[in-house]
């Protein structure tokens, strides 16, 4: 497997970063510090950064200001949401679940859902995709 890197998001002051390698170290504290220092965080209700992207998995670190909402959407694979800080409400058509720091949830693919930050929150989203 060769290493894969990502071009920076517009406004993100970084050089290419490695997103996929046989062994990939991820410093969540550094990524969190980065996204909370960016213009997007200061001027909008959220910011996020992809920390890993392979053919079968994506890991994204999200930071949401209190009241920010990820509107109803679906994922093409199974997801896990691990709350690192704050408190969120995760809604599907049939259920609602609040999660706070140290808690997580799992959701099967293609189930419509939304996320609301009940307070300033940080969570790690992992998306597992089926291999072709």
Percentage, residues of the chain above pLDDT 90 = 84
> Which pLDDT score, from 0 to 100, does residue 104 have?
98
Summarised one tens digit per residue, pLDDT across range 114-132 is: 999 999 999 999 999 986 5
Give the model's pLDDT for residue 10: 52
CB contact set of 18 (below 8 Å; sequence gap of 6+): 3, 4, 5, 24
For domain 4-128, give the CATH superfamily: Jelly Rolls (2.60.120.10)
Please give the mean pLDDT across all residues of the chain.
Answer: 90
Q: What residue spans define the domains of the chain?
A: 4-128
Q: Provide the H-helix boundaries in 44-126.
A: none
Its pTM stands at 0.89
The 10s digit of each residue's pLDDT in 12-36 is: 555 478 999 999 999 999 999 999 9
């Amino acid at each position: 497997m060769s290493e894969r890197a990502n071009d920076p998001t517009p406004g993100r002051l970084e050089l290419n970063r490695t997103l996929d390698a046989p062994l990939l170290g991820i410093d969540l504290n550094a990524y969190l510090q980065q996204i909370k220092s960016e213009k997007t965080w200061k001027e909008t209700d959220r910011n996020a950064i992809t920390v890993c992207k392979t053919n079968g998995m994506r890991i994204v670190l999200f930071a949401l200001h209190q009241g920010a909402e990820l509107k109803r959407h679906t994922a093409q694979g199974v997801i896990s949401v691990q709350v690192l800080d704050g408190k969120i409400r995760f809604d599907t058509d049939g259920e609602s679940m609040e999660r706070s720091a140290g808690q997580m949830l799992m959701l099967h693919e293609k189930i419509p859902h939304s996320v609301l930050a009940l307070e300033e929150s940080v969570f790690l989203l992992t998306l597992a995709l089926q291999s072709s």
